[in-house]
Amino acid sequence: MTALPVRPATEAGEVDDAAVVERSWTDADAFAVIFDRYAVTVYRFLARRVGGQLADDLTGQTMLVAFDQRRRFDLSQRSALPWLYGIATNLLHRHTRTEVRRHRALAKATADTTLEGHDELVTDRVTAAAQPLGRALARLSSTERDIVLLVAWEDLSYEEIALALDIPVGTVRSRLHRARTKLRRALPKEDN
C-alpha cells in the first residue's frame, strides 16, 4: 500500500477501534485505520470459508459495507473485529453453495496436507474425521455452520459471536450445542 498516505504506527496503535469508528463519523478517512487493522484477518476468514478467489472480492465488500454502516457500530465495543466478522458472514450467505462444496472437499484437502508436529495416531484420527466432518458441516444450517466455524476456526468467544451475528448469547450456546451434536453423530465411534 505504498501509494497511500502512511499513518504513523503509534498514531493508529494508541486508540481502540470504537474511537476510530467514531472518529470516522466526521472524518471518513479515519476508517482506513480499521481497514489496515483487519483487512487481512477478514480475508483469511473468508478464504477459509469460500477460497481465496472469492475472498478477494468479499473482503473489499465487507469493508465497504462496514464503512457505510459505521454509524451502527456499537461504540461500547472496543474491538471492531466481531462486527466485521458479522458483516463478512452475512455476505458469505450469498455463496453458501460454494462454501458447501468446499466443506465436502475437506477430506481431500487434508489428505494433501501433512499434519506436522502430531503423532501418527492424531494424524490418523484427523484424517479419518475429515470426510465425515466435512459432510456434516455441509449439512448444517447456515447459522449453525457460522457459529461452529467462528468457534473452531476463528477462536471467537460466545460473546463475540453473539455480537457478530446479532443474536443473544443463549442462542449461540444452544445452536452450537445442536450443531455439535450433529457433528458428533457423523464422527467415527472412537471420537464420540
Binding site for other proteins (CB under 8 A): 1-6, 8, 11, 14-15, 19-20, 22-23, 25-32, 35-36, 39-40, 43-44, 47-48, 52, 55-56, 59-60, 63-64, 67-68, 71, 102, 106, 109-110, 113, 115, 122, 125-126, 129-130, 133-134, 137, 148-149, 151-153, 180, 183-184, 187, 191
Q: Min. distance of Cβ 141 from other proteins in angstroms?
A: 16
Between 167 and 187, CB nearer to other proteins: 187
Between 148 and 165, CB nearer to other proteins: 148
Q: Min. distance of Cβ 165 from other proteins in angstroms?
A: 18
Between 14 and 120, CB nearer to other proteins: 14
Q: Min. distance of Cβ 77 from other proteins in angstroms?
A: 15
Between 61 and 171, CB nearer to other proteins: 61
What residue type is assigned to position 81 of the chain? L
Q: Min. distance of Cβ 101 from other proteins in angstroms?
A: 13
Q: Per residue, what are the HEC states of the chain?
A: CCCCCCCCHHHHHCCCHHHHHHHHHHCHHHHHHHHHHHHHHHHHHHHHHHCHHHHHHHHHHHHHHHHHCHHHCCCCCCCCHHHHHHHHHHHHHHHHHHHHHHHHCHHHHHHHCCCCCCCHHHHHHHHHHHHHHHHHHHHCCHHHHHHHHHHHCCCCCHHHHHHHHCCCHHHHHHHHHHHHHHHHHHCCHHHC
